[in-house]
Amino acid sequence: MFEVARSKVGKIILGDGSELTMRIAITEIREERYLPTGPDLGIGIHISLIVSKISNELKELVKDKPLWDEVQKTLITNLEKWERIKIVHVDEPFEEVVYKSSRNEMFKIIVKAKPVIISRTLHARDRNGNPVYLVRWNVVVEVLPQEER
C-alpha cells in the first residue's frame, strides 16, 4: 500500500527553442522479498511527456506530415530521419510516496527522471501538430526509512 506525498512536474528547454513538460508517476510497488535492509521492491513507473512550447516555424514544417501513431513502426528505426537536439536546461520531475511494507515498516520512495538524450523527427507530427521528440531517461529510485531524508 502506498500514498503519494509529493510530486513535481519537470521541464526541459531544448536547443531548438522548444520546451517539453514531463511528469513521472509511481504506478505499482511489489515486494519481491524482505532483506535485513528492508523490502526488495519492484517499482513500476510511468513518464508522460508533452510539447508545451514550440515555434510556429517548427509546427509549419510538420503540418502535412503523417501522425506518429501511423508511422511509428517504420520511422523509429529510420535513423537518417532523426536528429539529436541539445538539452539546454532541465528541471527534473519527481514523485515521492510513503509505502507501508508487509512488516508494517514505513518507507519513503522517491523516483526521479533525468532526460539525457533527446532526438526529434520532422517526418511525423503528434496529435497537436508538433514534431515528435523521443527521450532517453535515467531513472533514479531512492528507498529510505520514512524518518530519514
Write down the residue that cell numbers 526488495 correspond to: 40
What residues pair up with 14 in beta bridges, in sequence order? 87
Tell me how many domains the chain contains.
1
Q: Give the tens place of pLDDT for each residue, 78-91.
A: 999 999 999 999 99
Range list of β-strands (E), the chain: 2-8, 10-14, 19-35, 38-53, 83-84, 87-91, 94-100, 106-125, 131-145
So what's the pLDDT on residue 34?
93
**Residues 35-55: what's their mean pLDDT?**
95
Sign of the Cα pseudo-torsion (58, 61, 67, 72, in order)? negative
- Quickly state the pLDDT bin for 147 (edges 50, 70, 90): confident
Q: Which domain holds residue 9?
A: 2-145
Q: Give the tens place of pLDDT for each residue, 29-44.
A: 999 999 999 899 999 9
